[in-house]
């Protein structure tokens, strides 16, 4: 039987490294990148089958560190444009699905190369568009590159002959074929990685994509689509269709010609998509495939045997990395009673040292939250938290800065069942919860509707073994933070209300965009 490598030979996958943000040469390049972005044209068009379309209604993508600065002005698609994009994509699908796998992966590998070449500009775009600090932005870009490289190898594996049991009277084979035209609806919080990963997975397997970027990060998505075309991706395979989720989201999801929906975002929107997509529409020939990756209320659990300095470090990174705006953010710190006070003190001490400000300055670790709506929502949760617990650090908007800056906030002595211990806040806020012992800590950790990530700090081997069985999360970490999954290393996705556990960056992921065809031919003996 031929192997995948008979079709195309790719070197083994390796994760992309990160830039050294304190290197003066890197700092010079980043400065140039900020200047380039400030000078470049700010207009971004819709792209349907390679054709650029301008509309009168625009999304203004602003810099959350300084909302007066516009990062991009992006044309908004209407329903008619959505219809055209879907219709044209089905035409391109007839060609794209029949290309041999080596032709389909080529443009994505070339795109990864271009992304490396344009690294500083793309990092700087994310820093300005969503307020990532330098390292977070570069890690986001590295993850995006990883997705392209990893899924290229996976596409080859799925295209290679699949094992079926042999019988003497027939020749049998199983081939994976793509689904058709689908919608990719990413969030803004990993504006390169998740957007590029979801788009690549769908398209590299032979599908055509209607990419509706998040309205807080349409510019980085426009640059990615531009790069795909520069890399030789045929026009119409990936269509860039920005627009507000509230205005065109339902229309795309309900469209009878949409075959699949790949969504990452909030629980509320995900559940709505699930419901709308389940309803059969006149003329619809299939049951829509729906992949939903949603929110989290992730916990860092610390027991009495743990290295408390390492745990405190991990708690701070998990809770406040990218301002707590990660689905994997450690928004609950569950400490057993023996070490609760000591851990709290260490976490507060470390949090005091965090530098807040415009993230164009690499000295600033904590940037703004993404927009004014998020700022209001997070501040209202802090208000709720002040009645449900004791604010021991932070708790306020940073009024001296022009952007949407909120102090990193620690709420202590929170009961396990109150709102700040149960609901996703998606900001720089964490709740400290006291547990009686390790078993109680596990019960608290599992006591929300979510099940995305979790971490346990302990020195007891048997507790690690117990947590492997008991801690009900899609991504479980020991003696390290609960954020920072690497493509291929930590396939990512959660349980319960955290989604359909798609395991992005893992070997099962591309299967979500494929269907298997079993083919049998009788042998005339
Ligand atoms: P969101 O508000 O749910 O938006 C996600 C995407 O859905 C955006 O592109 C949005 O467009 C679109 N949308 C909104 N309403 C829609 C509708 N009615 N129909 C179709 N699409 C619609 O989430 P977000 O604020 O961007 O992202 C944060 C959330 O994502 C958090 O809950 C976080 O935990 C979750 N997340 C999960 C994972 C994971 O892997 N589990 C990873 C990252 C983030 P607009 O921007 O135009 O509204």
State pLDDT tens for residues 442-467: 999 999 999 999 999 999 999 999 99
Complete edge-to-edge strand list for the sheet that includes strand 330-336: 390-393, 409-412, 429-435, 330-336, 298-302, 453-457, 475-478
Tokens standing for residue 115: 């992304």
Distance 253 CA to ligand 1 centre (A): 14
Regarding pTM above 0.75, the answer is: yes
3-state DSSP helix/strand/coil percent for the chain, to nearest 5?
40, 20, 40
* Mean pLDDT on 306-325: 98
Q: Does residue 474 register a pLDDT over 90? A: yes
Query: Taking 80 as the threshold, does the pLDDT of residue 408 lie above it?
Result: yes
DSSP state of 14: -
Minimal CA–CA distance to 49: which of 220, 238, 178?
238
Sheet with 43-44: strands ordered across: 43-44, 66-75, 58-63
Whether residue 380 contacts residue 424, with contact meaning beta carbons closer than 8 Å, is answered with: no
Res 319 pLDDT > 60? yes
DSSP 197: H
From 208, 327, 407, 424, the catalytic residue: 327
Nearest partner of 497 among 325, 320, 265, judged by Cα: 265
DSSP state of 406: B
pLDDT of residue 316: 98
- Please report, in angstroms and rounded to a whole number, the separation of the first and last CA atoms in the chain: 22
Confidence of residue 280 (pLDDT cuts 50, 70, 90): very high
Q: Which atom of ligand 1 is nearest to the CA of 242?
A: 47
Q: How much distance in Å is there from the Cα of 171 to the middle of ligand 1?
A: 46
Assigned token pair, 360 = 């164009």
Q: What is the pLDDT of residue 4?
A: 46
CA 208 – ligand 1 centroid, Å = 21
How far apart are the CA of 274 and the centre of ligand 1, in A?
13
Taking residues 311-333, report their average pLDDT: 98
Average pLDDT over residues 292-307: 98
- Segment 105-116 shows an average pLDDT of 98
The percent of residues above 70 in pLDDT, for the chain, comes to 98
Query: Read out DSSP for 441-467?
Result: HHHHHT-SSEESEEEEE-S-HHHHHHH
Q: Residue 8: its pLDDT value, please?
A: 75
What is the pLDDT at residue 7? 58
Q: Which atom of ligand 1 is nearest to the CA of 276?
A: 19
Q: Is 293 a residue of the active site? A: yes
Q: State the closest ligand 1 atom to the C-alpha of 426, by its place in the atom list counted from 1.
A: 31
Q: pLDDT-derived band of residue 524, with 50, 70 and 90 as boundaries?
A: confident
Mean pLDDT along residues 392-421: 98
Evaluate if residue 3 carries a pLDDT over 50.
no
Q: Whose CA is nearest to atom 40 of ligand 1?
A: 293
pLDDT value, residue 41: 85
Torsion of CA 446, 447, 450, 454, to 10 degrees: -40
Per-residue pLDDT reduced to its tens digit, 223-271: 999 999 999 999 999 999 999 999 999 999 999 999 999 999 999 999 9
User: Cα torsion for 305, 306, 309, 310, to the nearest 10°?
Assistant: 160
- Least confident segment among 30-44, 228-242, 420-434: 30-44
Distance CA 262, CA 497 (A): 16
2 pLDDT tier (thresholds 50, 70, 90): very low
| Average pLDDT of span 23-35 | 97
Alpha-helix runs per DSSP H in 479-525: none
DSSP run (H or E) holding 141: helix 134-159
Site to probe by mutation for ligand 1, drawn from 187, 370, 495 as the one with most ligand atoms within 8 Å of Cβ, is 187
Q: What is the mean pLDDT of residues 74-78?
A: 98
Query: Phi/psi zone of residue 381: left (φ > 0), alpha (ψ -120 to 50 degrees), beta?
Result: alpha
Mean pLDDT estimate for the chain: 97
- Model pLDDT for residues 145-190, shown as the tens digit of each residue: 999 999 999 999 999 999 999 999 999 999 999 999 999 999 999 9
The one-character DSSP state at 497 is: T
Write out the two tokens for 370: 């993404």
């Amino acid at each position: 039987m031929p192997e995948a490598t008979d079709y195309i030979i790719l070197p083994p996958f390796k994760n992309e490294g990160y830039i050294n943000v304190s290197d003066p040469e890197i700092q010079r390049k980043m400065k140039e990148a900020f200047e380039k972005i400030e000078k470049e044209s700010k207009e971004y068009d819709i792209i349907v089958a390679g054709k650029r379309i301008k509309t009168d209604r625009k999304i203004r993508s602003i810099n959350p560190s300084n909302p007066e600065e516009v990062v991009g002005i992006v044309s908004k698609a209407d329903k008619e444009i959505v219809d055209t994009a879907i219709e044209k994509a089905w035409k391109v699908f007839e060609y794209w699905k029949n290309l041999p796998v080596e032709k389909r992966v080529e443009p994505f590998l070339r795109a990864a190369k271009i992304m490396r070449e344009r690294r500083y500009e793309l990092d700087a775009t994310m820093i300005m568009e969503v307020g990532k600090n330098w390292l977070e932005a570069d890690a986001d870009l590295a993850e995006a590159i990883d997705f392209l490289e990893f899924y290229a190898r996976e596409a080859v594996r799925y295209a290679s002959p699949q094992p079926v049991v042999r019988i003497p009277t027939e020749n049998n084979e199983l081939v994976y074929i793509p689904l058709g035209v689908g919608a990719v609806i990413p969030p803004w919080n990993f504006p390169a990685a998740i957007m590029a990963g979801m788009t690549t997975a769908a398209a590299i397997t032979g599908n055509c994509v209607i990419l509706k970027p998040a309205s807080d990060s349409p510019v980085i998505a426009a640059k990615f689509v531009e790069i795909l075309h520069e890399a030789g991706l045929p026009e119409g395979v990936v269509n860039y269709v920005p627009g507000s989720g509230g205005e065109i989201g339902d229309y795309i999801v309900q469209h009878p010609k949409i075959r699949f929906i790949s969504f990452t975002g909030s629980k509320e929107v995900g559940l709505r998509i699930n419901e709308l997509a389940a309803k059969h529409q006149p003329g619809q020939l299939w049951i829509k495939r729906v992949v939903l990756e949603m929110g989290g209320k992730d916990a860092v659990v610390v027991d009495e045997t743990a290295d408390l300095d390492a745990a405190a470090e991990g708690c701070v990174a998990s809770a406040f990395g990218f301002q707590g705006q990660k689905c994997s953010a450690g928004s609950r710190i569950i400490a057993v009673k023996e070490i609760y006070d000591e851990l709290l003190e260490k976490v507060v001490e470390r949090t005091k040292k965090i530098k807040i400000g415009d993230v164009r300055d690499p000295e600033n670790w904590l940037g703004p939250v993404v927009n004014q709506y998020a700022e209001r929502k997070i501040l209202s949760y802090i208000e709720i938290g002040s009645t449900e617990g004791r604010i021991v650090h932070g708790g306020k908007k940073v009024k001296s800065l022009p952007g949407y800056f909120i102090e990193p906030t620690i709420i202590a002595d929170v009961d396990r069942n109150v709102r700040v211990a149960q609901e996703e806040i998606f900001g720089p806020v964490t709740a400290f919860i006291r547990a009686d012992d390790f078993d109680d800590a596990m019960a608290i950790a599992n006591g929300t509707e979510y099940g995305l990530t979790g971490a346990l700090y302990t020195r007891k081997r048997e507790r690690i073994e117990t947590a492997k069985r008991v801690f009900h999360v899609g991504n479980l970490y020991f003696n390290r933070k609960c954020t920072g999954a690497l493509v291929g290393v930590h396939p990512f996705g959660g349980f319960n209300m955290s989604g359909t556990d798609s395991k992005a960056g893992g070997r099962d992921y591309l299967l979500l965009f494929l269907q298997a065809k079993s083919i049998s031919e009788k042998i005339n003996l």
